[in-house]
Amino acid sequence: MTELPKAGPSVRRALLRPLLWSWGIGLVAAVVGAYWLARTSANAAFDRGLQDEASALAAKITWSDRGPLLDLSRQAMELVTWDRDDRNGYLMVDADGNMLAGDARVPLPPARFRKTSFEQPRLFDATFEDEPVRGVMFSVSSPMLDRSVSVIVVETKTKRNVLMRDLQLSIVLPAVALGAVTFLLIGWGIRRGLQPLRDVATEVALRDAQDWRPLPLQHVPREAVPLIERINSLLADVEQSIQLQRRFVADAAHQLRTPVAGIRVLAQNLEQELALAAGDDAGWRPLLTQLGRSTERLSRLIGQLLSLARSETALAVDGEHQTMDVVPLLREAAEPLVLQALRDGRHMELDAPDAPVPARAHPLWLGEVVNNLLDNALRYGGPHVTLRVRCLPQGGAVVVVEDDGPGVAPSLLPRLFEPFWRGDRADLRNDGGTGLGLTIAREVVLRLGGQIEAESRPAFAGLRFTITLAA
């Protein structure tokens, strides 16, 4: 069995994959941008405050003969050193780094800062009592003396880190939420855009195997219209081909019936004439008998072919399918075969309830199905044949034809419904069968919207056919 190629990727996934990558890259860019923006904004805000504090302290420096003095009031000291969340500190040093005022624990900026005078505050990072701090240094020169001092103010980073985190969350969370909503909306839009294709697939799946109507083009995406049109063209070609085959089989079978019937009549007349002329013990009798059997089988084969062709066309009309009581149909179909079974010393039983058994059926072709199944059981089964019908709880009917014959090997069960398959036994080659009865039965049952299954040994002692008809 040739392995079918695996299906390719879905259109939806192919469309969503680049969008997902774009969304992921955008998310990473948003996180990085939010971190940079939050860091920059938070540092700018707090650095400005530090610079203002350093400028305020520098403004409090006075110069005398003894050198620089930092005159701070109590309120000014509290303003510089007290904070509810962060720890602050200040220090005033000379050009050599000697402490003049403030807290000796305050870290000094890098040496390159101290060797140069700056007219504007200069920022730096350091550590204050094992905590990272942000510092600023402001250099002040004496207008009269050739001396300069530097004011250093440091502050821990608790508040700026909190602000940085809040800014990051305020940027990232809306970006993530907006991206997720956008991604979901795009996915929903793609799903909705592909829904017409799924509707077409659903319609095809629900169709009967013989339904070759064109697929609808309404609400189909413009991009898919050429595909649907090509499929419709193929459906039309297949339907035309099948119709030609059916017409040929029906015409051929119809044309062959007349000459075959003439051959049967001529063979019978010839047998009668030769019997009168040469007696009953002549050697030609076996030949005429074989000719009669072959002619009879040929006639039956032609009849089955014609029935198959007619069933394929007649059952295509939905108006002929209707819900009816199937018990009278089964009795009528089984009656002639019951008489045949009695003549052959066989026993055929009809097991049906007294109440009606409604099911979706055809007044002519359901009888043809049962007739073919019973004929198969009489030809190849045992002495007992049973036709059973029951009503299903959910509606519909189940029809069972079973016999107690030799049955069929489990490996051969799938081949029972193949056209012209009659098994491998030599005793079946000249039994009068055509190999089309079960094929016709399956075709009719499927056209009626039902199912037919076959069981044999070891599940069942003999051969059993089960037909399930819908309500």
The answer to whether the beta carbons of residues 327 and 352 sit under 8 Å apart is yes
Yes or no: say if 140 and 58 are a contact pair by the CB < 8 Å rule: yes
C-alpha to C-alpha distance for 378 and 296, rounded to whole angstroms:
17
Q: 3-state SS of the chain: helix, strand, coil percent to 5?
A: 55, 20, 30
Per residue in 310-329, pLDDT tens? 655 555 544 456 889 999 98
Mean pLDDT of 185-198: 79
Work out the average pLDDT over 171-175: 80
253 touches 436 (CB < 8 A): no
Residue with the two structure tokens 């079960």: 438
Bridge pairing between strands 463-469 and 358-361: unpaired
Note the pLDDT of residue 27.
77
| C-alpha dihedral sign at 153, 158, 164, 170 | negative
Per residue in 42-63, pLDDT (tens digit) is 888 888 888 887 787 777 777 7
Residue 3 reports pLDDT greater than 60: no
Q: Which two tokens mark 219?
A: 């609400």
User: Which tokens go with 231?
Assistant: 């499929």
Distance, CA of 384 to CA of 393 (rounded, Å): 28
Query: CA 388 to CA 348: how far, in whole Å?
Result: 11
pLDDT at site 358 = 92
How confident is the model over 239-251, as pLDDT tens digits?
Answer: 777 776 666 666 6
Q: Determine the Cα–Cα distance for residues 288 and 271; give it in Å rounded to an integer.
A: 7
- Is 391's pLDDT higher than 80? yes
User: Looking at residues 31-39, what average pLDDT do you find?
Assistant: 82
Amino acid identity for residue 255 in this structure: Q
Residue type present at position 300: R
Query: Does this model's pTM top 0.75?
Result: no
Residues of the chain above pLDDT 70, percent = 71
Predicted pLDDT of residue 382: 83
- Give 86's DSSP letter: S
Q: Which residue has the tokens 């009278």?
A: 328
pLDDT bucket at 77, cuts 50 / 70 / 90: low
* Stretch among 119-123, 144-148, 171-175, 427-431 having the lowest mean pLDDT: 427-431
Q: What is the mean pLDDT of residues 145-154?
A: 80
Residue 394, helix vs strand vs coil: coil
- At residue 413, the pLDDT reads 85
pLDDT value at position 399?
A: 94
pLDDT at residue 431, rounded to an integer = 53
Quote the mean pLDDT of the chain: 76
260's CB contacts (< 8 A; 6+ apart) are: 295, 298, 299, 302
Q: Is the pLDDT of residue 390 over 90?
A: yes
Domains, the chain, ranges and CATH? 15-164 (3.30.450), 207-314 (1.10.287), 320-469 (3.30.565.10)
Question: What integer pLDDT is reported at residue 8 of this predicted model?
Answer: 57
φ, ψ of residue 233 in degrees (nearest 5): -65, -45
Rounded to an integer, the average pLDDT of 7-11 is 62
Could you read off the pLDDT of 429-466 as tens digits, one per residue?
A: 455 556 777 887 888 888 788 899 998 867 667 889 99
